[in-house]
């Protein structure tokens, strides 16, 4: 979810509770015990989709007793990328279906949540760059199709114009679906080539028919059209066309475009901003199934569930399940990592076949000058675009009762002392998301401005453009507080915001960006990579500006999706795993401009490590020529599933071919990922990896090891020699510890270099000894 939408959802959820207490408003007359269940049957068994649908109806008929009951029960039939269906079932009916031999599992429907200009230049993909730049070599992604699962799209935005684009790719099988205020003949073109919406699963979760509810139209539209803004923002970031004269009230003025401006976009609307809002499991499954059929090359999802604690192909995880089938079809799946940072083990979308993205900042800031009555000046960060205020009174609410008014969230509408003044307050722990309410309170009581002292983060999503609201560091806040306390008549002057770009602004990992280690499979590093996700300017539905700043891993994921589109155009035969490897092994582990360490924002800040950013910040131009890749195919995923404890029959149904796990359970450490994580090193372990040469045919690579503290790593062989006959080589890493006690994680890396290329994988190791009892 982009964080600016979080409060809307909280308020809408309160409304939902009221509605649920009014049974006469419920429009769906289903049995109170019935609920949508997803019946998952693995890979499709019929090339004829009608036969697949018929088989689904037969299963339902056998349990429900009649064809009519089956027709009334089913809401979706999954028949393109995998087999299964979603239907209204009671618990006993779901249990009976789960016991049938062709059924892998049955799970109740549930809701997922959204994660919500300069960035492409920052990433080295400027239109003024030389012809050797990835943007130009890939012809700006022409012909590649990006499928986006989100809140819909605003087709009239200039970001989706089709100027200069050729015909729609002939392999495209999708279409644009009509709906409320959405005419495909006018809305779709050679840029926006597909648009569909999926509402049935969301309706059943709410227990009411949205389309028939007058209140629904106040917040949503039963069509692919976007009323929320999240989907328009993410899709224009990934593949938006050139749109000149874009800005947010004059800030960040310039030409906005997506990462692959000639790529085509297909929108699959699965997320709804009504009542508590969300994205239904069954709708997501159906959308991915349709996208596989339609012919997308990339799936971009800025969506996640709760912090996961289940197996990756677990029946509760619709994104992991459906994306597995997409990846087997050669479709790269890019997902946001979540906005639950800076706390550890919060990263979402943790499957090894998914490319999971953290959020970083870019080299742009919006300084606002704060001038005190004694002529001292400080710089804050803001999006204020109004006039300079002139000198006005500044005040701070000292502690006056049990509620400490120093903290911003404790201000209320009784604080009339703030009238005519600029208010200084401090953010307490966990208060950041409620800041818009604080600003509204200050405005309500007649305040003329707000200065918020907080931990140093770059995020500006909560600062208004029309009201002077400015963020400063805790240190600056303390100096302002001293001035207020010891001045006879404290005054302040607030200037409008400016836009600064350039190297002096270093890269940070955003405080909200979810962190590893992986809570599902600790030996699988997540996130995989970081990309710009702080104060990203992109298109929104029609408004005063048509463009808006948003922050979140929701904004980071489409940056990677756009780069994947360029790589797919340049290297159409690369697998999703090869693309992921190219991105991870060439990422920047330090600031791309200064070489200084990347900082992970938090409380306190720290030097970023692989649990913050995976391989590092995405390096688009490096990824086009990585030299070596850590590739994976169906066999590798089978070994992963075996290592996670899935049996032969479950895996065979999942992949629709005979699968046999080794007699000895494989080690998850040997999954051929472009990273290496050992969560519990007790004795010496040997780990295997295989690299594929995608660089010059005749190449010689040498290993460079930077071991984690107290860890010894030996690589064998230390040199890899490739030629026309040898394109793949396996090697082993023998890892041992010198620690005598259990430690936290320490980090290092392995680089294979031929003097030109440097394929780097992050290494994370924790020594752990069992506790002695008694």
pLDDT tens digits, one per residue of 520-561? 889 999 999 999 998 888 888 977 678 888 888 999 999 999
Residues carrying CATH 2.60.40.2310, the chain: 672-767
More confident residue, 408 or 299: 299
Give me the count of residues in the chain: 774
Whether residue 629 is predicted with pLDDT greater than 70 in this model: the reply is yes
Nearest Cα neighbor of 766 from 189, 449, 303, 344 is 344
At residue 42, the pLDDT reads: 82
What's the CATH fold of domain 113-362+509-626? Rossmann fold (3.40.50)
Residues carrying CATH 3.50.30.30, the chain: 367-498
Region 44-52 average pLDDT: 77
What's the CATH fold of domain 31-108? Alpha-Beta Plaits (3.30.70)
What's the CATH fold of domain 672-767? Immunoglobulin-like (2.60.40)
pLDDT tens across 742-769, in order? Answer: 999 999 999 999 999 999 999 999 999 8
At residue 392, the pLDDT reads: 94
Lowest mean pLDDT among 36-40, 97-101, 478-482, 646-650: 646-650
| pLDDT over 70 percentage in the chain | 87
Whether residue 164 is predicted with pLDDT greater than 60 in this model: the reply is yes
More confident residue, 438 or 68: 68
Under a CB-based contact definition with an 8 Å cutoff, are residues 567 and 138 in contact? yes
At residue 16, the pLDDT reads: 34
pLDDT tens across 107-160, in order? Answer: 888 887 776 555 777 677 877 778 888 988 998 999 999 999 999 999 999 999
Whether residue 696 is predicted with pLDDT greater than 50 in this model: the reply is yes
At residue 313, the pLDDT reads: 53
Whether residue 30 is predicted with pLDDT greater than 90 in this model: the reply is no
Region 675-700 average pLDDT: 97
H, E, C per residue of 595-626: CCECEECCCCCEECCHHHHCCCECCHHHHCCC
More confident residue, 441 or 172: 172
H or E stretch including 205?
helix 200-206
Region 608-629 average pLDDT: 97
At residue 277, the pLDDT reads: 84
269-278, 377-386, 526-535 — most confident range: 526-535
90-99, 124-133, 426-435 — most confident range: 90-99
DSSP per position, 571-587: -TT--HHHHHHHHHHT-
Whether residue 4 is predicted with pLDDT greater than 50 in this model: the reply is no
Q: Which residues are catalytic?
A: 150, 230, 554
Round to whole Å and give the CA distance between 361 and 508.
5
At residue 212, the pLDDT reads: 80
At residue 33, the pLDDT reads: 80
pTM for this one?
Answer: 0.84
At residue 29, the pLDDT reads: 38
At residue 316, the pLDDT reads: 62
Whether residue 602 is predicted with pLDDT greater than 60 in this model: the reply is yes
Round to whole Å and give the CA distance between 707 and 268.
44
Residues carrying CATH 3.40.50.200, the chain: 113-362+509-626
Whether residue 639 is predicted with pLDDT greater than 70 in this model: the reply is yes
At residue 28, the pLDDT reads: 37
Radius of gyration of the chain (CA): 27
Whether residue 31 is predicted with pLDDT greater than 50 in this model: the reply is no
At residue 402, the pLDDT reads: 36
Query: Quick one: pLDDT band at residue 504, thresholds 50, 70, 90?
Result: low
At residue 21, the pLDDT reads: 34
Region 184-195 average pLDDT: 97
pLDDT tens across 286-296, in order? Answer: 999 999 999 99
pLDDT tens across 453-477, in order? Answer: 876 554 554 555 678 888 888 888 8
What's the CATH fold of domain 367-498? Glucose Oxidase; domain 1 (3.50.30)
Per-chain mean pLDDT for the chain:
86
Under a CB-based contact definition with an 8 Å cutoff, are residues 242 and 218 in contact? no
Nearest Cα neighbor of 566 from 137, 41, 244 is 137
Q: Give the C-alpha distances (Å, rounded to integers) separating 243 from 189, 539, 643.
A: 16, 9, 48
């Amino acid at each position: 979810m982009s964080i600016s939408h979080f409060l809307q959802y909280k308020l809408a959820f309160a409304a939902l509770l009221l509605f649920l207490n009014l049974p006469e408003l419920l429009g769906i007359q289903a049995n109170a015990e019935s609920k949508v269940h997803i019946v998952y049957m693995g890979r499709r068994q019929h090339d004829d989709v009608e036969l697949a649908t018929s088989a689904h109806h037969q299963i339902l008929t056998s349990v429900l007793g009649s064809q009519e009951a089956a027709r009334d029960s089913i809401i979706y039939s999954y028949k393109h990328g995998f087999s299964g269906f979603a239907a209204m079932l009671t618990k006993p009916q779901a249990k009976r279906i789960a016991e049938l031999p062709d059924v892998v599992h049955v799970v109740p429907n549930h809701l997922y949540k959204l994660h919500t200009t300069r960035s492409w230049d920052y990433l080295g993909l400027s239109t003024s760059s030389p012809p050797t730049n990835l943007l130009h070599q890939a012809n700006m992604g022409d012909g590649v199709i990006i499928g986006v699962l989100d809140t819909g799209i605003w087709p009239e935005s200039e970001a989706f114009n089709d100027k200069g684009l050729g015909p729609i790719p002939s392999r495209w099988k999708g279409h644009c679906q009509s709906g409320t205020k959405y005419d495909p003949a006018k809305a779709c073109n050679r840029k926006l080539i597909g648009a569909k919406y999926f509402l049935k699963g969301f309706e059943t979760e709410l227990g009411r028919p949205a389309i028939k509810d007058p209140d629904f139209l106040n917040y949503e539209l039963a069509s692919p059209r976007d009323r929320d803004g999240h989907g328009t923002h993410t899709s224009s970031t990934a593949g938006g066309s050139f749109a000149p004269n874009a800005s947010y009230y004059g800030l960040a003025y310039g030409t906005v475009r997506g990462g692959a401006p000639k790529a085509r976009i297909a929108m699959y609307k699965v997320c709804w901003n009504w009542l508590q809002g969300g994205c239904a499991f069954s709708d997501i499954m159906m959308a991915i199934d349709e996208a596989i059929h339609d012919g997308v090359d990339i799936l971009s999802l800025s969506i996640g569930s709760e912090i996961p604690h289940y197996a990756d192909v677990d029946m509760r995880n619709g994104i992991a399940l459906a994306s597995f089938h997409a990846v087997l079809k050669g479709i790269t799946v890019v997902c946001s990592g979540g906005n639950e940072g800076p706390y550890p083990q919060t990263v979402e979308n943790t499957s090894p076949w998914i490319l999971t993205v953290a959020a970083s900042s870019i080299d742009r800031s919006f300084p606002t000058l704060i001038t005190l009555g004694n002529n001292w000046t400080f710089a804050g960060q803001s999006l204020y675009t109004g006039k300079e205020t002139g000198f006005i009174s500044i005040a701070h609410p000292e502690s006056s009762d049990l509620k400490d008014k120093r903290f911003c969230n404790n201000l209320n509408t009784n604080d009339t002392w703030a009238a005519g003044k600029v208010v200084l307050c401090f953010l307490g722990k966990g208060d950041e998301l409620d800041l818009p309410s604080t600003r509204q309170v200050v405005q309500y009581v007649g305040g003329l401005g707000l200065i918020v002292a907080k931990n140093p983060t770059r995020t500006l999503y909560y600062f208004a453009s029309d009201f002077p609201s400015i963020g400063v560091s805790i240190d600056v806040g303390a100096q302002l507080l001293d001035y207020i306390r010891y001045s006879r008549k404290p005054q302040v002057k607030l200037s409008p915001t400016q836009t600064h770009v350039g190297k002096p602004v270093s890269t940070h990992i955003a405080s909200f960006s979810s962190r590893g280690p992986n809570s599902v499979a600790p030996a699988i590093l997540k996130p995989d990579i970081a990309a710009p996700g702080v104060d990203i300017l992109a298109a929104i539905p029609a408004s005063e500006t048509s463009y808006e700043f948003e922050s979140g891993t929701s904004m980071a994921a489409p940056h990677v999706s756009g780069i994947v589109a360029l790589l797919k155009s340049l290297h159409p035969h690369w697998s999703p795993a090869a693309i992921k490897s190219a991105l991870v092994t060439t990422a920047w582990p330090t600031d791309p401009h200064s070489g200084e360490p990347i900082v992970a924002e938090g409380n306190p800040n720290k030097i970023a490590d692989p649990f913050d950013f995976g391989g590092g910040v995405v390096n688009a131009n490096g990824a086009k020529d990585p030299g070596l890749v850590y590739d994976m195919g169906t066999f590798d995923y089978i070994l992963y599933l075996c290592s996670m404890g899935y049996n032969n029959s479950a895996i065979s149904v999942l992949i629709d071919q005979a699968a046999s796990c080794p007699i000895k359970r494989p080690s998850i450490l040997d999954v051929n990922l472009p990273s290496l994580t050992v969560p519990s090193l007790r004795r010496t372990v040997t780990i295997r990896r295989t690299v594929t040469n995608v660089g010059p045919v005749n190449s010689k690579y040498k290993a460079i090891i930077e071991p984690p503290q107290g860890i010894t790593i030996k690589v064998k062989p230390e040199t890899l020699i490739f030629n026309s006959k040898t394109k793949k080589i396996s090697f082993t890493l023998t890892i041992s510890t010198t620690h005598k006690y259990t430690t936290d994680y320490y980090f290092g890396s392995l680089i294979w270099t031929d003097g030109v290329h440097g394929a780097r994988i992050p290494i994370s190791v924790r020594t752990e000894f069992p506790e002695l009892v008694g």
